[in-house]
Structure 1
């Protein structure tokens, strides 16, 4: 019997590994049989709410075991999940809900209702738990679903950055999961006794890779809060504490985290951005290291290379089982080995396309001249080459899309949001820095006076934090090329952020504040590379991101010799509040 959907593959694992641990978090461990029972009961409740094949269910929850139960229950009911990161701006979440049209929202009590008149279930509500416990716990049969679940039915919709200023929902069916799981088994070889880290945010398809790598193989999936996954010491502690054997991490996390004593004898996979020779030298000894590649428009990925040992030019490997990667010229002709062309992906892992965006789908999912009649291939916009031995290499982008600390970002979406401010005439966004230091900076010309901080706040109202420019510089005019286009290479270094209160009152910075506050301000200035930080400034509004927050916590611990949790940095409204937290720990 061919197992072609996530429920079928998972139930096959449960039948073989029912007594093995399946989900591990700080509070508990769930075995496969117990996890399957909980999933089946919630799935039956979802079916009663109208969930079935090709219907969407939104999920908004922090990382916890219930999140995995929710995802798997939606899939067992025959539905598809729409992941919503509770940390995203309300405007973006509202757009994703209206764009996708889910029939139901699943959330935890820690996440506020998203409104929009959408029916919802609060999964940690005692009344719901009691109701689910009364339902049968055996596997959901096809006849119980609203229609038979087939491989072509929708599995998830994940929104990705859009060049027009609106995110696009990528609709991915079950059809590619069988080959994805087969590739994981053949290459990464996770299984009973192994522990897989669930690192990626639910909003990204890499999270589904983590889930499948564990739960479709018989390994245990380890769930920890997001603050315990921050690159650096928090991530290192988690890898060590839980004895992680398999982890898929972006280069930014690998660059910031010590490789000593973790994942020894295990498997690490770099994905989401270019894997550098430095990272290979750091992580390949004492462990199997792989490099993966693939856009959101396929079932998580398309190629995998390794084990990587040579610290030279790291390739992206060869296609997954059931998939093909073509390197073509502008007339869709294969280029000779070693010659650069555009990468096109074909095979079982292709998405249906962009949800409710038929012109965009037609432009990117084109007829495959190398496959059977009616087959398609995805035009990635990535440039690459294939060497004579078959190894593929990524060489860059053909458009304005970039990878930023592992996130896929369309600079055009940021530019569109900046330009939507009534004072802005023209806006340009670029990326500065590498790996953990990579950040977006914005440049604008204006028709009326406006503060850079106001423009950052305008963008932050609708875009996730990693897409908000750390600096916005107001120019009199843009530098141009001979053809009149903006010369992005000639843009000046970004202006430092203004640190002035709205009422114009000057506040103490590192040079004027006293004691602990002065030292903390100075450390913030050094971490962010800015000329001045004041006690009333917010670390993140100065341009800080999660990786830099980890660095800040480490620097403060070293300077003051106190135990300062990363949460203290994340929750501090101002640098002064953070300094007060340090002082309280110094006192005892």
Structure 2
């Protein structure tokens, strides 16, 4: 079986002068990228990186990021992606739990662990050392030991139901089948441009990278601000003439599809695709729908091209993989009947890093495979049509998706319960697609008081932005069902009783900009009242809703406000001044 370095180097041999990575206005050819990755890989080997050793990578979206990832893999190591925008406490936990051999970071990213050896990629002296290394491809004799497909490729942390994230350890084994799926179904190649959209801490980033760099296409990198759903994403797709983009439904829902990817390919993944999105994005381009949890090599199934009016399925298994629909006795169900989806094949992860117990419960023996083979119990429900197309029916547990990210509500609840004033905590998801958000309800310990803002600040120290509850409602007691369990369905009714009269929607001529913005923000965030002294993100806003706010300002007021102004404004009043300045 081939490893990523072998697959990449064969692509370099075929297309050495083709553009490989485009970032801002700079393009690197495959040959140039390969030389830089080879030189850096030799530095990593000198620092002790070898097969099955982990290298933490904390580098912002850039051409350097791709060079680092390739270099880690060429050295034989596996990368542990650290999104620099994640809270420091969460990054520190991942480093403590994974125990990487090295941290690779850029100068603008702080080291979350002072005890960990580090390599700063943009340090001038280190760059000079790197450029003196041999530029040729590495052989097993150059590594600390031979590299095999069974060795680790990356470890990506996902939300954990026990309150702490867990690392999914993925090997090189499933990559060859993923590339075969790319070739057979997507058909990307030289001359195409693939957008790298997903956060590096999300396994879809590996799909973006390999879709381009293992096919001869160009990988287009852009800053985080330039890929925000809505106008920024649209402008980036147009500017770079992107031909292939893999985006979650939340990004597709708030981005105007007109004139984008003409004759190209768009893939929806990370959450359930809807008929509305198909009507919007399928005309004039090929549209696919993908499915697969982090516990496999990016994905398991693919459907498409999808046309308006088609039943939306998750398609059929990738080349070399299998998907079973099984009942509670782990037996096949009849066509059309619902069961749990079990995933099998070379793409399965090795398991959860340093967690043999939970690995054994989720990665179970495959009765349909070779002796010793396993299948992953996904926790997803679905069915199979007579023609083999699979249908997704939702989750069987408390795991949810928010803006394409996997969220275990138990982890949110554990973070809230970690505050000394909180007695009980319950988390839920409300809204749909762009409006999807985590909300929470808590009761406090006797004699203790805490505000919603204090609780959001508390959990924000350990949870990434998409997991921080947009609202936290403090109740005297949580409603229960007749058998004593928390009545989640009654929570919204219970909290609504204490809500003040909702702020009047809309605006009138003569109103000040801060009054207008308060009314718009209240409507977008579904809040009863918003005041000028509040911060959009502190009261439940997030990056996707920020693009929605910018669109509303442009639509209602005819004023285009830079996205950076929304992120930099500390209050609604300060944002109003930016709007007035842009008028």
Q: Same fold (TM over 0.5)?
A: yes
C-alpha distance in 1, partners of 2:240/2:207?
Answer: 19
Partner SS, residue 191 of structure 2: coil
Aligned: 1:74 with 2:67: no
> In 2 relative to 1, CA 19–584 (structure 1 residues): closer, same or farther, beyond 3 Å?
same
In the alignment, the residues of structure 2 paired with residue 122 and residue 561 of structure 1 have an alpha-carbon distance, to the nearest angstrom, of: 45
Contact 2:19 2:217 in 1 (8 A): yes
CA contact (8 A) 1:456 1:472 kept: yes
TM-fit CA distance, 1:258: 0.9
Matches of 1:498 and 1:199, distance apart in 2 = 38
C-alpha separation in 2, matches of 1:544 and 1:117:
35
> Relative to structure 2, which stretch is displaced further, 166-175 or 552-561?
552-561
The correspondence for 2:567, drawn from 545, 566, 570, is 570
Who is 1:122 aligned against?
Answer: 120
Partner of 2:520: 523
More displaced stretch, 441-450 vs 338-347: 441-450
1:554 aligns with 2:551: yes
Report the Cα offset of residue 562 of structure 1: 4.0
Distance 2:567 2:152 in 1: 36
After superposing the two structures, state which structure 1 stretch, 555-564 or 411-420, moved more: 555-564
2:440 paired residue number: 442
Tell me which residue corresponds to 1:506: none
Q: After superposition, give the CA deviation of every residue in 1:31-50 in whole Å (9 maximum; x if it has no partner).
A: 00011001101111111000
1:555 is displaced (CA, Å) by 2.5
What is the CA deviation profile of residues 91-114 of structure 1, one whole-angstrom value per residue up to 9, with x for unaligned ones?
Answer: 101000000001111111121222
Measured on the aligned residues, the alpha-carbon RMSD in Å equals 1.8
Which residue in 2 is equivalent to 1:311? Answer: 309
What corresponds to 1:458 in structure 2?
458
- After superposition, residues 53-452 of structure 1 pair within 5 angstroms as 53-447=51-445, 448-452=448-452
Distance 2:148 2:52 in 1: 10
- CA drift of 1:401 comes to 0.3
Quote the offset at 1:119 in angstroms.
1.1
Q: In 2, are the aligned partners of 1:471 and 1:497 still within 8 Å (CA)?
A: no
Residues 572 and 578, structure 1, Cα contact 8 Å, conserved in 2: yes
Which of the numbers 36, 42, 49 marks the counterpart of 2:34? 36
Query: 2: CA distance between counterparts of 1:435 and 1:563?
Result: 24
Per-residue deviation at 1:11?
Answer: 0.2
Moved more, 124-133 or 188-197: 124-133
For residues 561 and 274 of structure 1, the distance between their equivalents in structure 2, rounded to whole angstroms, comes to 33
In structure 2, the partner of 1:472 is 472
Contact 1:473 1:495 in 2 (8 A): no
Q: 8 Å contact 2:170–2:297 — kept in the other structure?
A: yes
Deviations 1:418-472 (A, max 9, x none): 1121222211111111110011110112222221211111111110111111111
Contact 2:267–2:290 (CA under 8 A) maintained in structure 1:
yes
**Residues 453 and 497, structure 1, Cα contact 8 Å, conserved in 2:** no
Deviations 1:527-563 (A, max 9, x none): 2222322232111001001111112222333455444
- Contact 1:169/1:354 (8 A) holds in 2: yes
Q: Does the aligned pair in 1 maintain the 2:553–2:560 contact within 8 Å?
A: no
Match for residue 503 of structure 1?
none
Distance in 1 between the 2:250 and 2:520 partners? 21
Matches within 5 A, 1:504-543: 515-543=512-540
Task: State how far apart, in whole Å, the 2-side matches of 1:51 and 1:200 are.
Answer: 26
Question: Is 1:51 matched with 2:63?
Answer: no
Q: 1:497 to 1:65 in 2, by over 3 A?
A: farther
Shift of 1:69: 0.5
Residue segments in structure 2 that go unaligned for 5+ positions in a row: 501-506
Residue 453 of structure 1 contacts residue 498 of structure 1 at CA under 8 Å; is this kept in 2? no
Residues 495 and 226 from structure 1, CA distance in 2 versus in 1: closer, same or farther, beyond 3 angstroms? farther
CA distance in 2, matches of 1:535, 1:285: 42
- For the 8 Å contact 2:499–2:528, the answer to whether it is kept is no
Aligned length: 573
Q: Are residues 38 and 297 of structure 1, via their aligned partners in 2, closer, same or farther at CA, if it must alter by over 3 Å?
A: same
Equivalent-residue separation in structure 2 for 1:206 and 1:381 (angstroms):
20
Q: Secondary structure at the match of 1:175?
A: coil
Equivalents in 1 of 2:45, 2:499: separation in Å? Answer: 54
Distance 1:295 1:116 in 2: 33
* Equivalence for 1:507: none
CA distance in 1, matches of 2:496, 2:226: 33
1:5 and 1:64 mapped to 2: Cα distance?
24
For structure 1, list consecutive stretches of 5 or more residues without a partner in the other structure.
500-509
